[in-house]
Amino acid sequence: MTEAIHRALGLTDEEAARIRVRLGRDPNRAELAMYAAMWSEHCSYKSSKVHLRGLPTEGPHVLVGPGEDAGVVDLGDGMACVFKIESHSHPSAIEPVQGAATGVGGIIRDVLSMGARPIALLDPLRFGPLEEERNRWLLSGVVAGIGQYGNSIGVPTVGGEVKFAPPHGPNPTVNVMCVGLARVDRLVRARAEGEGNLLLLIGAPTGRDGIGGVSVLASRTLEEASEESRPSVQIGDPFAEKLLIEACLELADRGLLVGLQDLGGAGLTCAVSESAARAGAGAEIDLDAVPLREPSMEAFEILTSESQERMLAVVRPADRETVEAVCRKWGLGSATIGRVTGDGRLRARLAGQVVADVPAVSLADEGPEYRRPMAPPPWVAALHDDDPAFAAPPVGPEEAFRRVLGSPNVASKRWVWERYDSLVQGNTLEGPGGDAAVIRLEGSLRALAASTDGNGRYGSLDPYLGGAHAVAEAARNVACLGARPVAITNCLNFGNPERPEVMWAFAESVRGIGDACRALGTPVTGGNVSFYNEAGESSVYPTPVVGMLGVLDDYRLRLGSTFVPSHVVYLLGETFAELGGSEWAEVVLGKVSGRPPGLDLERERALHRLLVDAAAADLAASAHDCSDGGLAVALAEAGIAGRCGFAVALPGDLPAHVALFSESASRAVVCVAPGKAEAFEAEAAAAGVPFARLGETGGPRMVFDDLFEIAVAEAGRIHESTIPELMRVRRAAG
């Protein structure tokens, strides 16, 4: 009987057989739905697990690694940072406002479920070119959704990046990272411990939201205008989320929680089975006690509903009334829906009948695991041979500079981040627009730095380097503020893993991330895999997005990212003829080809050490990462942001376009007070970081050697006008 159903639910025949063996009988409908949801790619990581095991997850600061709702890093002084990144790309492609909004809600609950107050959001986004109407619709919708939700709940959106590439047209990439803060002794774990403890469902009532959404929406390729998947899109309720945050934090602070878990993909089934499995326990739940938004929901619907703004709390019976009172105070519903048992089974009843009875651990931890076939794509070798460094530059350096600085990838994203509240909570020392965001820990001189990064062109040309560069650049961004990179979370955005070239790119990216994390001493504390980002023949660039966390011991000593007048300009690191996958090659030559820049992780680490030490010793005034668009863009951005010109000589005897636009890694542009130049040079030499003194800051013009010069205000206009002008087309047309 189950054969027809299991396939419709996305389970293979082998997976269905496995369930029968595990249970010793046929699963009923509700049980099958539970397994389908929990064993989906989204929840079980069945295609990615074998590769993810190779990532380094331990380090002296890591309190909680992958496997829980979010990773936790020790900040010292009894404080912990909780952080995680997740994708909400599939829902956003169908309904950008609500898709992005509910993505924000979900990641916030992940952080909240560790007992942490969410203190910052970062949103790495990838879209198709803005010349197309649909991509403008997606960008404005996603940004509106993030703003609508994040702004309403009082969590500042402080960073992220927005990039554009044709492969992200049909499948926009919408990732959201949340950073939270908790006292170490108030951390809550997602564990259903203690036989007889009660399970309370807190927050919004349960409706037919996202039924099967996990397996249908996240685990199958998006088909154009798929009517079938539409009802799975949900409406976010930021107001309910805000109340949920305040109520859960009060519960955690008063020590009233044994465990806490959010309800996300696979809803109640996931929350109960995972928290029970982690504690080696079981659970009995009474589905009649679940507050419903719609009458007469079936057992499988209640068990797998993904209604938003709900949390599952594990509570000692003696605390039940106090917990209910706290929920009432915040205007939230709460219902005791079950209790922890000692037999390891997840048993659900509806109208007195047992409707599901399976081992909790079989749902949570015994999903299938695939070692899918892998093969590099055949076209990649030809692309490698087409090295842009050998192409004759079709335009001169000034024209190329104008095009690169004004290209949508490089241009200012003010249009986006001015739509986000970056100030609420009052601790934003550095908001959006710089290398990394910096959030002060209240009542302390310590601060957190956070950055996200991922270069899809690099990922497409060499996924190993794409992964490694994402880590290196995110760490460099954080180090440019003078912060010590400490740990990462990652969101791996890929196509259909059943295609060998996608699986190969995934494995290579993970290998690159692992090597870079090991070399840079930044373990992986968790993350998310988003597969099936493709429609028809079009798959997204292999895009591993890395969210890096850094720590500043004294925020007053952080480095700025803007030039100040009358300072010496240095380029740290070496520049090679590396234009493969560069912004220059795409914008000027119109090609994405060659090999990405090489990456020497020892050099990279030496650069970070130098930046951190120079900041602590107050040797440098500002530092800015040199990456997309190369040295020319790094100099221009630092000048524009500081409204400060400069005159520089280009390093080495490289051709002008190479010196200006090469994207060689492990470089940064630094400005140093003249009186400290000698000490800075000594520090750089001791750290083994090559440096070149390029010139001085000051005046209203940017002077690039004897090549060209441009007024700071003019460069600023180029940098600022691209996105608003592209988005204005929309209003004119629509």
Partner 1 sequence: MSGPRVAVVTFPGSNDDRDALRAVRDLGGRGIPVWHRDTDLRGADAVILPGGFSYGDYLRTGALARFAQVMDAVRAHAERGGPVLGLCNGFQILCEAGLLPGALIRNRGLAFICRRIHVRCETSATPVTSEIEPGEVLEIPIKHGEGQFVADRDTLARIEAEGQVVFRYCSPGGEVGDAWNPNGSAAAIAGLRNEAGNVVGMMPHPEHAVDPDVGPVGGQPIFESLFASVLAPL
Partner 2 sequence: MSRRRFEVVVTLKPGLADPQGRTIEDALPAMGWNGVRDVRVGKHVELTVDAATDDEARGIVEEVARRLLSNPVIEEFRILSSEEALG
Catalytic residues: 42, 88
Window contacting partner 2 (CB under 8 A); options: 91-99, 156-164, 171-179, 248-256? 91-99
98 contact choice in partner 2, partner 1, none (CB below 5 to 8 Å, kind-dependent)? partner 2
Interface with partner 2 includes 235 (CB under 8 A)? yes
308/425 with CB nearer partner 1: 425
443/590 with CB nearer partner 1: 443
273 contact choice in partner 2, partner 1, none (CB below 5 to 8 Å, kind-dependent)? none
57/206 with CB nearer partner 2: 206
Q: How far apart are CB 204 and partner 1 at their closest, in Å?
A: 12
Q: How far apart are CB 520 and partner 2 at their closest, in Å?
A: 42
Q: How far apart are CB 75 and partner 1 at their closest, in Å?
A: 19
Interface with partner 2 includes 246 (CB under 8 A)? no
10/118 with CB nearer partner 1: 118
> What is the DSSP secondary structure assignment for residue 355, as one 8-state letter?
E
Angle among Cα 486, 491, 496 to the nearest 5 degrees reads 150
Structure tokens at 612: 């951190």
Q: How far apart are CB 104 and partner 2 at their closest, in Å?
A: 14
Interface with partner 2 includes 132 (CB under 8 A)? no
Interface with partner 2 includes 239 (CB under 8 A)? yes
Q: How far apart are CB 579 and partner 1 at their closest, in Å?
A: 37
Q: In terms of DSSP bridges, do strands 173-183 and 79-87 run parallel, antiparallel, or are they unpaired? A: antiparallel
Interface with partner 2 includes 171 (CB under 8 A)? no
295 contact choice in partner 1, partner 2, none (CB below 5 to 8 Å, kind-dependent)? none
Rounded distance, CA 352 to CA 348, Å? 10
CB of 25 closer than 8 Å to CB of 357: no
Whole-number Cα distances in Å, 519 to 153, 455, 472, 512, 593? 38, 20, 10, 11, 27
Interface with partner 2 includes 95 (CB under 8 A)? yes
> What is the DSSP secondary structure assignment for residue 262, as one 8-state letter?
E
- E strands, 423-554, are 428-430, 437-440, 447-453, 484-493, 524-530, 534-535, 538-539, 543-552
Window contacting partner 2 (CB under 8 A); options: 25-33, 206-214, 272-280, 608-616? 206-214
Interface with partner 2 includes 208 (CB under 8 A)? yes
Interface with partner 2 includes 294 (CB under 8 A)? yes
Window contacting partner 2 (CB under 8 A); options: 124-132, 236-244, 551-559, 595-603? 236-244
Other CB atoms within 10 A of residue 640 CB: 24
417 contact choice in partner 1, partner 2, none (CB below 5 to 8 Å, kind-dependent)? partner 1
Three-state secondary-structure class, residue 693: strand
**Selected binder of partner 2 within 231, 373, 652, 688 (CB under 8 A):** 231
CB of 126 closer than 8 Å to CB of 540: yes
Render the burial of 484-517: b for 16+ CB within 10 Å, e for the rest: bbbbbbbbbbbbbbebebbbbbbbbbbbbbbbbb
Whole-number Cα distances in Å, 415 to 164, 198, 238, 418? 15, 48, 23, 6
Q: Which residues, 6+ apart, have CB-to-CB distance to 192 below 8 Å?
A: 199, 258, 259, 272, 275, 276, 278, 279, 281, 283, 314, 340
180/514 with CB nearer partner 1: 180
Q: How far apart are CB 106 and partner 1 at their closest, in Å?
A: 18
Whole-number Cα distances in Å, 63 to 253, 365, 506, 730? 19, 21, 27, 47
Other CB atoms within 10 A of residue 114 CB: 28
**Selected binder of partner 2 within 33, 153, 204, 411 (CB under 8 A):** 204
265/580 with CB nearer partner 2: 265
Q: How far apart are CB 116 and partner 1 at their closest, in Å?
A: 16
Per-residue binding letters, 312-341, with partner 2 (x by CB under 8 A): -------------------x----------
Rounded distance, CA 330 to CA 712, Å? 51
Interface with partner 2 includes 234 (CB under 8 A)? yes
Whole-number Cα distances in Å, 537 to 68, 223, 443, 480, 492? 35, 11, 53, 40, 20
196 contact choice in partner 2, partner 1, none (CB below 5 to 8 Å, kind-dependent)? none
150/526 with CB nearer partner 1: 150
Q: Which three-class secondary structure string do you get for 166-182?
A: HHHCCCCEEEEEEEEEE
Q: In terms of DSSP bridges, do strands 484-493 and 543-552 run parallel, antiparallel, or are they unpaired? A: antiparallel
Per-residue binding letters, 296-315, with partner 2 (x by CB under 8 A): -----------xx-------
Binding residues vs partner 1 (CB under 8 A)? 144, 147-148, 151-154, 237-240, 242-243, 330-331, 417-429, 440, 555-556
Residue count, binding to partner 2 (CB under 8 A): 23
Three-state secondary-structure class, residue 367: coil
341 contact choice in partner 1, partner 2, none (CB below 5 to 8 Å, kind-dependent)? none
Interface with partner 2 includes 397 (CB under 8 A)? no
Q: How far apart are CB 222 and partner 2 at their closest, in Å?
A: 13
Render the burial of 263-287: b for 16+ CB within 10 Å, e for the rest: bbbbbbbbbbbbbbbbbebbbbbbb
Structure tokens at 390: 């050998």
Cα 270 from chain centroid (whole Å): 22
237/435 with CB nearer partner 1: 237
Q: How far apart are CB 631 and partner 1 at their closest, in Å?
A: 30
| Nearest partner of 291 among 352, 327, 335, judged by Cα | 335
90/608 with CB nearer partner 2: 90
CB of 471 closer than 8 Å to CB of 515: no
Render the burial of 229-259: b for 16+ CB within 10 Å, e for the rest: beebbbebbbebbbbbbbbbbebbeeebbbb
94/289 with CB nearer partner 2: 94
234/493 with CB nearer partner 2: 234
Q: How many CA atoms lie within 13 A of 263 on its CB side?
A: 29
Torsions phi, psi for 399 (to 5 deg): -65, -40
CB of 71 closer than 8 Å to CB of 62: yes
Q: How far apart are CB 9 and partner 2 at their closest, in Å?
A: 21
Residue 16, judged by CB atoms within 10 A of its CB (0-12, 13-18, 19+), counts as buried
153 contact choice in partner 1, partner 2, none (CB below 5 to 8 Å, kind-dependent)? partner 1
**Selected binder of partner 2 within 207, 432, 434, 485 (CB under 8 A):** 207
**Selected binder of partner 2 within 43, 139, 181, 240 (CB under 8 A):** 240
Interface with partner 2 includes 209 (CB under 8 A)? yes
Window contacting partner 2 (CB under 8 A); options: 173-181, 203-211, 352-360, 596-604? 203-211
Binding site for partner 2 (CB under 8 A): 94-95, 98, 204, 207-209, 230-231, 233-240, 293-294, 307-308, 331, 734
